[in-house]
């Protein structure tokens, strides 16, 4: 049957212990680079201790929540380590969230401390220190980055300087202590679920993934992913396990990324597929080529089209490691650095060493090898449950510990797991269902098509029909002298391409929509819910052709 089992127990880890070990091995070597700001391991230890003591003196105690609404930065990682040192629980909050969404999360969790960018204190918005203290009586500290604090706040630098040289008061932090509250990405639900992880759970998973996906290294890691996302945060833990230097990028900018990569010469790059697409496009336009060669690139967060796998290998001459994971599970599967290219092209590798996986059909029966079904996951390292929602936890985790992932996958006889998309990515055309990921992968081979999504639009007769959404935006000229328009593929070309591949007619998009950019979640994933909502609203405003009729030509949405 379609299942695979690996064996491993929890490692008894805590983040303070992992960090102390890295400091011991790293000494006076550079540990962290944030722009022009760099910290050695020993200096980072001093900063963590000072902020940990500062949090305690502000009233933060073991079990309290510290919310970090920050971009990738030295402040983010240092405060995460400081919070763990005093037994507090970190809740990362995506930068891309609207202020009202951030406040809604904070009101659900009731943190003792919140850390925010300085810009949130401008204009009397819902995230000012005064506004937050009015609705969060438990709040003990509101910290901001930058040089100037607003009313009811203190800057991170001020706290660091005030408690510099002080050690935190002793606190027992156990392997099973609450460690992280991780909000889900929110691609299919307006209200994110909040996953509770323990120290030993998430860190055991991170160490297993680190050992599986890379040979030993003590070099440099650059992550382009937000540290508020599980994949990005686990890359930071990976650097700690290796006592390697990590370089932070505050937000995605392909030009800035290339500048850092050429300067820092990373051994490992961590990026999602959309970022890799941007990187390959820019490198091909640059007469000087990439200017760096990482030992490997780790990617996750979305299905990986075979064309992108090929393009990354050709443009960057490196090994690509693909990871599947989710907020509840951490890193669930990965390919290996020694795997053949076709493994990455057709699968997401094998389960990490602490995991079991199985695939069940709609009746709950095991699928035979190679047959797609719903993916179930079990591991001692996965999340402990959804914060404040025990009924929701019981609805997705069985009594014997199997997590219903909502992902569609198949497991081959060789144990390789192939990802077929989310259940939410199924499009139902008059009762005939298919997964959008299948068509997206076929279309990725079209030249110059760029990022794309196949989503469902409402239809009065069929219920839904597939729509291809692409980007239409200028790209830099190869010689850098002037922008040139990038042609957008036409619907006729799409139809001919898919028919030439033998695609069933009901799976072929009937309409093509071009947007300046595809909407994305704060985690960098294409926001399918936003696209489908847009198409539904457009259908209400527009006369829709008869169901099943082709939609000729290009419809451009401004």
What's the confidence (pLDDT) of residue 553?
Answer: 35
pLDDT of residue 459: 79
- pLDDT (0 to 100) of residue 541: 67
Strand partners, 333: 324, 351
Which tokens go with 73?
A: 């930065």
Tokens of residue 359, six digits? 């695939």
pLDDT in tens, 307-349: 888 889 999 999 899 999 989 999 999 988 788 878 888 889 9
Cα 264 from Cα 244, distance rounded (Å) = 13
Does residue 480 surpass a pLDDT of 80? no
How far CA 554 is from CA of 233, 481, 508, in Å, comes to 40, 29, 15
In tens, the pLDDT along 415-437 reads 999 988 777 787 878 767 788 88
Helix (H) or strand (E) holding 374: strand 373-378
Taking only the tens place, the pLDDT of each residue in 6-50 is 555 678 999 999 999 999 999 999 999 999 999 999 999 999 999
pLDDT digits (tens, 9 = 90+) for 357-401: 999 998 999 999 999 999 999 999 999 999 999 999 999 999 999
What pLDDT is recorded for position 147?
Answer: 85
Distance CA 186, CA 534 (A): 17
Looking at residue 38, its pLDDT comes to 96
Beta bridge partners of 470: 452, 514
Task: Write the pLDDT tens digit of every residue in 57-78.
Answer: 999 999 999 999 999 999 999 9
Q: Tell me the C-alpha distance between 304 and 48, whole Å.
A: 37
Supply the pLDDT for residue 552: 35
Q: What are phi and psi of 74, to 5 degrees?
A: -65, -35
- Joined together, the tokens standing for residue 436 give 């959008």
Spatial CB neighbours of 122, under 8 Å, sequence gap ≥ 6: none
Distance from C-alpha of 459 to C-alpha of 504, rounded to nearest angstrom: 19
CA dist 263 → 35, 266, 292, 318 (Å): 11, 9, 9, 18
Q: Report residue 335 as tokens.
A: 């390919």
Q: Supply angle C-alpha 55, 59, 60, rounded to 5.
A: 55
CB atoms within 10 A of CB 484: 12
**Which domains are assigned to the chain?**
3-411 (3.40.50.12780), 430-556 (3.30.300.30)
> Against a cut of 0.85, is the pTM above it?
no
Q: Which two tokens stand for residue 40?
A: 């050695």
Report pLDDT for 359. 97
Q: DSSP code of 63?
A: T
Cα-based angle 367, 373, 377 (whole degrees, multiple of 5) = 90
Q: What is the mean pLDDT of the chain?
A: 87
Question: 3-state SS string over 456-492?
Answer: EEEECCCEEEEEEEEECCCEECCCCCCEECCCCCCHH
Report pLDDT for 148: 79
411: three-class secondary structure by DSSP: strand
User: How far apart are the two ends of the chain, measured CA to CA in Å?
Assistant: 49
13 vs 20, 89, 224, 423, 442, CA distance in Å? 12, 15, 26, 34, 43
Residue 533: the pLDDT is 85
CA distance 12 to 161: 33
The per-residue pLDDT for range 79-135, each reduced to its tens digit, is: 999 999 999 999 999 887 888 889 999 999 999 999 999 999 888 889 999 999 999
DSSP line for 175-230? TTSEEEEEE---SS-SS--EEEEEHHHHHHHHHHHHHHH-----SEEEE-S-TTSH
pLDDT > 60? residue 352 = yes
Could you report the per-residue pLDDT of 139-198, keeping only the tens digit for each? 999 999 988 778 889 999 999 999 999 999 999 999 999 999 999 865 444 578 999 999
Reply yes or no on whether the pLDDT at 479 is more than 50. no
Given a cut of 50, is residue 558 above it in pLDDT? Answer: no
The full length of the chain comes to 558
Q: What confidence tens digit (pLDDT) does each residue in 517-529 have?
A: 888 877 677 888 8
Q: How far apart are CA 150 and CA 157, in angstroms?
A: 14
Phi and psi at 116, nearest 5°, equal -135, 155
């Amino acid at each position: 049957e379609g299942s695979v089992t690996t064996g491993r127990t929890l490692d008894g880890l805590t983040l303070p212990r992992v960090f102390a070990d890295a400091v011991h091995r790293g000494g006076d070597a550079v540990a962290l680079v944030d722009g022009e700001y760099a910290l050695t391991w020993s200096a980072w230890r001093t900063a963590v201790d000072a902020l940990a003591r500062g949090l305690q003196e502000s009233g933060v105690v073991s079990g309290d929540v510290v919310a970090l609404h920050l971009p990738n930065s030295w402040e983010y990682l240092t405060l995460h380590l400081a919070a763990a040192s005093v037994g507090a629980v970190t809740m990362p909050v995506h930068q891309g969230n609207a202020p009202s969404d951030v406040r809604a999360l904070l009101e659900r969790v009731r943190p003792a401390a919140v850390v925010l960018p300085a810009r949130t204190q401008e204009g009397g918005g819902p995230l000012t220190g005064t506004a937050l203290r009015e609705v969060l009586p438990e709040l003990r500290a509101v910290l901001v980055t930058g040089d100037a604090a607003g009313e009811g706040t203190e800057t991170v630098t001020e706290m660091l300087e005030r408690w510099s040289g002080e050690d935190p008061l002793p606190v027992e932090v156990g392997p099973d202590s609450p460690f992280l509250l991780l909000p889900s990405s929110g691609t299919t639900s307006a209200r994110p679920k909040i996953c509770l992880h323990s120290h030993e759970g998430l860190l055991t998973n991170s160490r297993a993934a680190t050992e599986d996906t890379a040979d030993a290294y003590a070099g440099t890691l650059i992550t382009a992913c937000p540290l508020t996302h599980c994949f990005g945060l686990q890359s930071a833990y990976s650097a700690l396990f290796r006592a390697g230097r990590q370089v932070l990028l505050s937000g995605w900018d392909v030009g800035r990324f290339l500048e850092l990569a050429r300067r820092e010469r990373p051994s490992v790059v961590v990026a999602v597929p959309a970022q890799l697409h941007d990187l390959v496009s820019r490198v091909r336009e640059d007469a000087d080529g990439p200017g760096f060669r990482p030992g490997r690139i780790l990617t996750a967060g979305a299905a990986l089209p075979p064309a992108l796998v090929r393009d990354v290998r050709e443009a960057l001459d490196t090994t690509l490691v693909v990871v599947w994971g989710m907020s509840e599970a951490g890193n669930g599967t990965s390919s290996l650095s020694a795997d053949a290219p076709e493994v990455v092209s057709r699968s997401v590798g094998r389960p990490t060493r602490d995991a079991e996986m199985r695939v069940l059909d709609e009746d709950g029966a095991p699928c035979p090898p190679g047959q797609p079904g719903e993916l179930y996951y079990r591991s001692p390292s996965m999340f402990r449950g959804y914060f404040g929602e025990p009924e929701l936890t019981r609805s997705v985790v069985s009594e014997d510990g199997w997590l219903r992932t909502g992902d569609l996958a198949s497991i081959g006889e060789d144990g390789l797991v192939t990802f077929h998309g989310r259940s939410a990515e199924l499009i139902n055309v008059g009762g005939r269902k298919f997964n959008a990921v299948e068509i997206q992968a076929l279309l990725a081979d079209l030249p110059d098509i760029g990022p794309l999504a196949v989503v469902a639009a409402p239809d009065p007769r069929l219920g839904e029909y597939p729509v291809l959404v692409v980007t239409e935006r200028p790209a830099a000229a190869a010689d850098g002298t002037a922008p040139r328009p990038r042609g957008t593929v036409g619907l006729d070309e799409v139809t001919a391409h898919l028919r030439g591949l033998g695609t069933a007619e009901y799976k072929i998009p009937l309409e093509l929509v071009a947007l300046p950019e595809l909407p994305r979640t704060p985690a960098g994933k294409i926001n399918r819910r936003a696209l489908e909502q847009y198409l539904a609203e457009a259908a209400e405003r527009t006369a829709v052709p008869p169901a099943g009729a082709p939609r000729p030509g290009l419809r451009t949405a401004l």
